[in-house]
Structure 1
Amino acid sequence: MALIVQKFGGTSVGTVERISQVAEKIKGFKAQGHDLVIVVSAMSGETNRLIDLARQMQATPDPRELDMVLSTGEQVTIGLLAMALKSRGVPAVSYTGSQVRILTDRAFNKARIQHIDDANIRADLDAGKVVIVAGFQGVDEQGNITTLGRGGSDTTGVALAAALKADECQIYTDVDGVYTTDPRVVESARRLDKITFEEMLEMASLGSKVLQIRSVEFAGKYNVPLRVLHSFKEGPGTLITLEDGASMEQPVISGIAFNRDEAKLTIRGVPDIPGVAFRILGPVSAANIEVDMIVQNVAQDNTTDFTFTVHRNDMRKALDILGQVAGDIGAREVAGDDKIAKVSIVGVGMRSHAGVASKMFEALSRDGINIQMISTSEIKISVVIDEKYLELAVRSLHSAFELDAVNQPEDHI
């Protein structure tokens, strides 16, 4: 008999009918003898509705009061799901984050979990009950309700699995696993049976929307086996776990991630002197703008062109800052480009294979795709290209690294 934590997202519990379907699925698992802790999100669209209501009261809602409002979304879902299970003869009990005592810091709207009191949950499991916990929320030391930020229900699920030492944390969503790339871009993309925490973390940070980054970090830190499954389709899904010895036989590349939400900024004619990078990026960072890739080129006249990328929504704000910086440091000009995209190849197999970068660059050059920026790590290579070539680049790389379903059987890794 296994202890399993299952998390169901907003689309999975988006209607009364879907909540009933989830209840049937849980009933089936319970009949197999498993101990079950269920984490649920608010019904699809509910969080946005609550945010809109809050903004009608305050243009910029008070963070504490906003968390008070937002936490009600999950409270509705846990109550309805508990009722659905009880109507099917399955003993169940629902808890808000504060009732469990999921203790967080006091960073309203983006709190981090510090401790979970699992006493009540274990007592209910011992009594044969299915325990249903509201995702996305907790409570601070002063008793204030806090929320964990967008996608926080994934983190709740993983944190509970870690605290309870669950055999597995299953994330149910509207896809049946993690794919080599987005199937909407490459029809021959295939579902991965297994992927490492490292790879999934890179995929999530580089644009894959399957799992929230913080949940993957948490799972890796506490070695919680994660499985991504489809809410209403049967299948094995994708297991996210530690790298093992068999990984040496994995394909060099496990997946291709991409991000359209990038913008590139360049400040030209910068004096090539110590400290200039900080004078450029310091004000950008102070404005709470996250910088991604950075490239610096030195010219013969002892000046440099300094280029970096930010989220597309931050480009205008960053340009205004750079305009002031350019005047302060004596730079020649500032330019911005929001018609770019980032494409990345990811795989732990890169550690033991040479020539991966050259193979990537060769594939892109065959299709006439110019590389504007390059960033690497031990298990990933990212390039910035013109946005209009994004899908062509993904298809080209998917084929070059033989990730297509026709090239490799699904159970290869």
Structure 2
Amino acid sequence: MSLIVQKYGGSSVHSTERIKRVAEHVVATRRQGHDVVVVVSAMGDTTDELLDLARALTPAAAPRELDVLLTTGERISNALMAIAIESLGTEARSFSGAQAGVRTTGAAGRARIVEVVPDRVRSALDRGAVAVVAGFQGISRDTGDVTTLGRGGSDTTAVALAAALKADLCEIYTDVDGVYSADPRLVPDARLLENVGYEVMHELAMSGAKVLAPRSVAYAARHQVPIRVRSSFSTNPGTMVAGSADLPPAEHSSVTGVAHDSSKARITLAGVPDAPELTSRILHLVADVEAELHFAVRGRTDISLVLPAADGPPALRALRQECADLGVEELHYDEQIGKVSLVGNGLLSHPGVLATCCETLTEAGVHLETITTSDIRITALCPAPQLPHAVRAWHTAFALAAPELATVHAGSGR
């Protein structure tokens, strides 16, 4: 008998009809002889609806109370899932994140998992029940407060439980058939990837591929949890994420896919004195407002900072307040920055890869603003409206297309 953790995103549990369908699949897995733990996200747009309720009262709700509010979405889903499973004749027990033993830091809205002590989940499994756990949440080990895990929190919950329970497999069910060589909404002939190593998958996720949360992939790699990404709406085997991809032979590269992210902003500080201590102060100011800095480029007289668009305004305010002390002459802000990344192995072992990246963007009419490289990723910045052209150009240039047109369901569940 094996132990399988299955996570279902918001689109998979969007309605009671979909919850019934998921419950049937869970029961079928249990009747095949497997122990099953189910992790669920909130139903559809529930999280946004809860946030709207809070905003109707005040634009500045206390982060602690927002966490208490938002965790109710997943608790509704997991209670309904347990009810649906029991209606099919299989015992089920639902647990909040705290009841499941997910212990976190105390940072409201962005807590990190410190440890998982799944004693109650293990006890339910030992009784033959399906354990249903609310994703995206836990309890602070220091304060005892309910916490939420931020973006991709349900994925991370599932992987963390799989690691703690020593599960044989963690299945992430969403509304796409797996991991593709590019977003099939932009590239219709994108190829479904059968196997992806942890390192490459983490880089794809960090670069904008939304099918898995970066934190969940990092957690899986650390604890060697195999992940299978599959669709809730088909029987396709999906993509297995595990181990390390084979390195290419010497002097050759292996390109896996193209990822993109249109939600970036850039702050440019012009006329910055050439002093290392000033650069350090600028980076500390961004860190102090907890902005997620993706990379910084230092020129002779300016510094460009690229970060998520949501983090742009607080970082901009913090920097503007210190402009005089820093000796900065001007601040420029652009929230229409796109990021396209080529991901694979051994990309720098063949100089032609970088040249091809630059040439194809030029031929596609994409304005290349900045390009950064590593042996596993080449990333270019361009105007956000030009991103689709950039993605398709690289996907074609490196012959990543599937032999036949892929049929997929658009979107992704949390």
Question: Normalized against structure 2, the TM-score is what?
Answer: 0.89
Residues 267-292 of structure 1 deviation map (CA, whole Å, 9 limit, x = unaligned) = 33333234232244333333333332
Whichever residue aligns with residue 236 of structure 2, its letter is G
Q: Report which stretch shifted further, 162-171 or 253-262.
A: 253-262
Partner of 1:275: helix, strand, or coil? helix
Return closer, same or farther for 1:275/1:107 CA change in 2, 3 Å cut-off. closer
User: In 2, Cα distance between the equivalents of 1:408 and 1:47?
Assistant: 34
Contact 1:6 1:171 in 2 (8 A): yes
Partner of 1:157: helix, strand, or coil? helix
Contact 2:189 2:404 in 1 (8 A): no
Larger Rg: 1
Return closer, same or farther for 1:293/1:32 CA change in 2, 3 Å cut-off. same
User: In 2, Cα distance between the equivalents of 1:246 and 1:295?
Assistant: 30
Return closer, same or farther for 1:91/1:279 CA change in 2, 3 Å cut-off. closer
2:411 is matched with: none
RMSD of the alignment, in Å?
2.6
* Displacement of 1:306: 2.4
User: In 2, Cα distance between the equivalents of 1:326 and 1:123?
Assistant: 58
Whichever residue aligns with residue 260 of structure 2, its letter is F
Is the counterpart of residue 164 in structure 1 residue 165 in structure 2? yes
Contact 1:293 1:375 in 2 (8 A): no
Whichever residue aligns with residue 286 of structure 1, its letter is D
Partner of 1:97: helix, strand, or coil? coil
1:268 is matched with: 270
2:34 is matched with: 34
Q: Report which stretch shifted further, 103-112 or 180-189.
A: 103-112
Question: Normalized against structure 1, the TM-score is what?
Answer: 0.90
* Displacement of 1:203: 1.4
Residues 271-319 of structure 1 deviation map (CA, whole Å, 9 limit, x = unaligned) = 3234232244333333333332322233xxxxx2322323334445555
Within the candidate set 335, 349, 353, 2:332 is matched to 335
User: In 2, Cα distance between the equivalents of 1:21 and 1:408?
Assistant: 27
2:190 is matched with: 189
Within the candidate set 376, 379, 402, 1:379 is matched to 376
Whichever residue aligns with residue 96 of structure 2, its letter is T
1:301 is matched with: none
Partner of 1:342: helix, strand, or coil? strand
User: In 1, Cα distance between the equivalents of 2:285 and 2:159?
Assistant: 36
1:83 is matched with: 83
User: In 2, Cα distance between the equivalents of 1:389 and 1:63?
Assistant: 36
Is the counterpart of residue 288 in structure 1 residue 293 in structure 2? no
Pairing 1:13-412 to 2, within 5 Å after superposition: 13-141=13-141, 142-245=143-246, 252-298=254-300, 304-319=301-316, 321-323=318-320, 325-350=322-347, 352-406=349-403
* Displacement of 1:18: 0.5
Contact 1:208 1:257 in 2 (8 A): yes
Residues 254-279 of structure 1 deviation map (CA, whole Å, 9 limit, x = unaligned) = 11111112223333333323423224
Return closer, same or farther for 1:35/1:247 CA change in 2, 3 Å cut-off. farther
Partner of 2:111: helix, strand, or coil? coil
Q: Report which stretch shifted further, 184-193 or 362-371.
A: 362-371
Q: Report which stretch shifted further, 6-15 or 314-323.
A: 314-323
* Displacement of 1:191: 1.0
Q: Report which stretch shifted further, 259-268 or 317-326.
A: 317-326
- Which runs of 5 or more residues in structure 1 are unaligned? 299-303
Q: Which structure 1 residue ranges, 4+ long, deviate > 6 Å from structure 2?
A: none
* Displacement of 1:224: 0.6
User: In 2, Cα distance between the equivalents of 1:296 and 1:95?
Assistant: 49
Contact 2:291 2:311 in 1 (8 A): yes
Partner of 1:179: helix, strand, or coil? coil
- Which runs of 5 or more residues in structure 2 are unaligned? 407-414
Contact 2:247 2:345 in 1 (8 A): no
Return closer, same or farther for 1:106/1:313 CA change in 2, 3 Å cut-off. closer
Paired positions, count: 405
Return closer, same or farther for 1:289/1:148 CA change in 2, 3 Å cut-off. closer
Partner of 1:403: helix, strand, or coil? coil
